[in-house]
Every structure is written in C-alpha cells, then in structure tokens.
Amino acid sequence: MAKVPFLNLYDINEKVKDEILASISNVIESGWYILGEQVELFEKEFAKYCEAEHCIAVGNGLEALKLLLLAYDIGPGDEVIVPSNTFIATWIAVTHCGATPVPVEPDEKSYNLDTNKVRSSITSRTKAIIPVHLYGQPVDMEPLIELARENNLLVLEDAAQSQGAKYNGRRVGSLAHGGATSFYPGKNLGALGDGGAVITNDQAVANKVRNLRNYGSDEKYVHSEIGYNSRLDEIQAAILRVKLREIELWNERRRNIAKMYTVGLEELDIITPYVPHFATPVWHLYVVSTKHRDALQEFLLEKGISTSIHYPIPPHQQSCYKKDYAEIKLPLAERMSKAILSLPMSPTLSDEDVEYVIMSIKEFFHKLT
Ligand SMILES: *Cc1c(COP(=O)(O)O)cnc(C)c1O
C-alpha cells in the first residue's frame, strides 16, 4: 500500500467499528430491515444537522437527485442548468427524468457555478438550476437564488460532496428549494454501502419524494404513482447515525489538513484552492492545479503518495453524451480536467503524512527549476 493513501476508508471506519457493530446487531435483533425506526431517526437527525425541515433517505445520491427533480415535475421538454465540471451523476439525474442538462462553465477561481454565466444560459424552457458544491466548497448561493427568483426557476442543490459545509453560516443543501446528497462510502459522511437523501423545507415535495421512493405508495399496497424502489437500508441508517456524531470532528480535521497544504504550497508554481469570504468548506477534496499535473502525479506516486483526478473527462466528452453535445464548446471544463490534481485528503491523515506530501511536491518543483 502507498505510504500516503489518497483516502483510506478502513482507517475511518475502524475508529467507530465497535459502535457500528453494536448498531448493526441492534438492527438484526429488531427483525425489521427496511423503512423502520433507524431510517426514521436518521432522517430526523440528518435534517436537523442540515438545518432542513425534512429529510427523506433514499438508495443513493443519483436517486436522491432524480426523485427531487421528479417531485418538482421536471421532465421532457425542460432544461436544467448544470455545471460543466461536475461528477456525471448531476447530468444523468436530469437525463433520467427526460429533461435536458444544459452545461454552464465554472468560475475560474472557485471552480463553482458562476451566476453571470448561468444568466446567459436561461431560455424559455429552463426549469431549474443545479448548483454543485464541488469538492466541499459552497457555491455563491445568494446571487444565484436571486437570479432564479427573477426568472421563476427552481434551485436544487447537489450537496453530495458538501455534508456540513456552510454558506454565510448556514448549512448548504437547505438554502433553496431542495437538496440531494450521497452517502457513498467515500463521501464526508459515508455509509458502508450505497445511500443518499433528499432534504427540503417544502412539505409537499417531501411527501412526494417519500411516495416515489417506495413504489408510489403512502399506504401499503395502495399506489398513487408509478414510483421507484429507492430506500436506505435500516443497517445503513444505523451506521450513518453513528458516523453523523463524528462528522463535525472529521470535517474540522479536513480543514486543518487543507490549511497545512495551502500554507505549505504557498510559494510554488501551483494553484491552491480559493476560499471565498462566505465559505466554510468541508474539503471533500483538496484540488490543486498545475500545468505539470501528469509529471507531478507520477513523481508523487514514486514517493508512495496516491493522488486522484476529479474528473479526468468532463461529462460532455463522455461517450454517453458526446453525440448530443458535439456542437457545444466547454473549453474551461476541458482545460481544468487536464490541470487538476486531488491531493490525499482524509480525516485520518497525520500531520507527518501531510508534511511528507508537501515536502515531496516542493521537491518536484525544485527539480523542475
Ligand atoms: C457522489 C456524487 C453523486 C452521486 O452519488 P451516488 O450515491 O454515488 O449515486 C452526485 N453528485 C456528486 C457531485 C457526487 O460527487
């Protein structure tokens, strides 16, 4: 194994292993495994954590996005504005609803949605905007929400990478009409399997998502919609309840690591993440940018340091979307994908690990000159 892994999930889960085992044992003994007490309690606790009125736990992050869009009646003929530089799930959720993802290039400093660029992409078919709090960095939501209000659009947050992040002191995900998140094992709040959730302050939307996730049913064997099967398991909910108690501590550790990186890499020919005044990020990823990206990644690998790229191919260049987006130019997303590098980031990294990464990057740049 690498000296410094990119992310070691074992180390994270090992810290709470005894509590997790006890919680799984309780679920086994309860004799109830789908939509029971654990999911209900987790939904209450996660809603409170997100400062949202409602949380509906579902099968994964993609389904959370999709059910949220469907609950707002987004479908064929509708356009939904998405970032050009996101994980492909944001786009796929829109496509699954029959609507069209309309990509907008990011702000060059923050890598997040830029309200001015969103403005010029609005058409008479636009129904919603999906800001993604990419890498755990909050999007500048106020101007975006204002723009949406002027144009009668929905703002649906993709908060899969940003559990716990704050925008002007308020948790992301519950800042607008609704949010979706993912509990994929590698997220800041990760299950030991798949999971996701919708959060919203709108009671009717919450009811609709609750109905859709369970075969379009509010009452056993009575079906008002042709719904889906997308439910969080009791066992995963029980595990997430244990890990939710740790997330603030873990996010704080991520912030300390990020600070070490930012200070340590200051004088090098490398662009470190920009943190706007409104942001309390949670550093799902620590992404630097350099024109020597590939050489740096290889050099670090030789030093026993694993890094990653989020993401090497933007959605519009993936073969599943390439044909439909052949006419569309997104040079920024393309340029970014060739220059970005995600450094090791995990709450279990030691100061020595982080210092070793910084030292190795310095060594790489000194050799260059
Ligand atoms: C992980 C992720 C998702 C999807 O989550 P899954 O649980 O893997 O389906 C959606 N959007 C973004 C930005 C993500 O990072």
Ligand 1 pocket test, pick from 86, 94, 161, 228 with the greatest ligand atom count within 8 Å of Cβ, gives 161
Distance from the alpha carbon of residue 239 to the mean position of ligand 1, in angstroms? 19
Q: Whose CA is nearest to atom 6 of ligand 1?
A: 61
Residue 324's pLDDT is 96
| Residue 226 in tokens | 């042709």
Supply the pLDDT for residue 2. Answer: 74
**What's the pLDDT at 253?**
98
- CA separation, residue 7 to residues 173, 282, 308 (Å): 24, 15, 10
Q: With a 6 A CB cut-off, is 62 part of the ligand 1 pocket?
A: yes
Is 115 within 8 Å of 140 (Cβ atoms)? Answer: yes
Q: Does 57 sit in the ligand 1 pocket, CB within 6 Å?
A: no
Mutation choice for ligand 1 from 182, 231, 287, CB with most ligand atoms inside 8 A: 182
The helix/strand/coil state of 345 is: coil
Per-position pLDDT tens, the chain of length 369? 579 999 999 999 999 999 999 999 999 999 999 999 999 999 999 999 999 999 999 999 999 999 999 999 999 999 999 999 999 999 999 999 999 999 999 999 999 999 999 999 999 999 999 999 999 999 999 999 999 999 999 999 999 999 999 999 999 999 999 999 999 999 999 999 999 999 999 999 999 999 999 999 999 999 999 999 999 999 999 999 999 999 999 999 999 999 999 999 999 999 999 999 999 999 999 999 999 999 999 999 999 999 999 999 999 999 999 999 999 999 999 999 999 999 999 999 999 999 999 999 999 999 987
Residue nearest to atom 5 of ligand 1 (CA): 61
Decide: 179 in ligand 1 pocket, CB within 6 A.
no
Establish whether residue 132 lines the binding site of ligand 1, counting it when its CB lies within 6 angstroms of any ligand atom: yes
The reply to whether ligand 1 has any atom less than 6 angstroms from the CB of 86 is yes
pLDDT of the residue at 136: 98
Residue 62's alpha-carbon distances to 82, 159, 227, in angstroms, are 14, 11, 16
Q: What is residue 1's predicted lDDT score, i.e. its pLDDT? A: 58
Q: DSSP state, 273?
A: P
- Of 347, 322, 335, the C-alpha closest to 5 is 347
Q: How many residues does the chain have?
A: 369
Atom of ligand 1 nearest to the CA of 183: 7
162 lines ligand 1 (CB under 6 A): no
| Nearest alpha carbon to residue 53 among 179, 163, 157 | 179
Q: Is the CB of 160 under 6 A from ligand 1?
A: yes
The verdict on the CB of residue 161 being under 6 Å from ligand 1 is yes
Ligand 1 atom closest to Cα of residue 161: 15
Q: Do 223 and 215 touch, CB atoms closer than 8 A?
A: yes
* Cβ pair 100, 325 in contact under 8 A: no
Give the helix/strand (H/E) hosting 299.
helix 293-302
Which of 65, 86, 87 most suits a substitution to test ligand 1, by most atoms within 8 Å of the C-beta? 87
Å from CA of 91 to ligand 1 middle: 11
Q: CB neighbours (10 Å) of residue 111? A: 24
pTM: 0.98
Residue from 60, 62, 163, 192 to probe ligand 1 pocket by mutation (most atoms less than 8 Å from CB): 62
Q: How many helical (H) and strand (E) elements, i.e. helices and strands, does the chain have?
A: 14, 14
Element at 128 (helix H, strand E) = strand 126-129
- Cα four-point dihedral sign 2, 161, 329, 113: negative
> How would DSSP label each residue in 12-29?
HHHTTHHHHHHHHHHHHH
| Residue 83, beta-bridge partner list | 104
Q: Is 94 in the pocket of ligand 1 (CB under 6 A)?
A: no
Bridge partners for 336 per DSSP: none
CB 79 within 8 A of CB 126: yes
How many CB atoms sit inside 10 A of residue 104's CB?
A: 24
Report whether residue 135 contacts ligand 1, using a CB cutoff of 6 Å.
no
User: Are β-strands 222-223 and 217-219 bridged in parallel, bridged antiparallel, or unpaired?
Assistant: antiparallel
C-alpha pair distances (Å), 226 with each of 70, 94, 229: 12, 18, 10
Residues in Cβ contact with 171 at an 8 Å cutoff, skipping those fewer than 6 apart: 49, 50, 51, 52, 164, 165
Burial class (CB in 10 A: 0-12, 13-18, 19+), 334: middle
The count of other CB atoms within 10 Å of the CB of residue 115 is 20
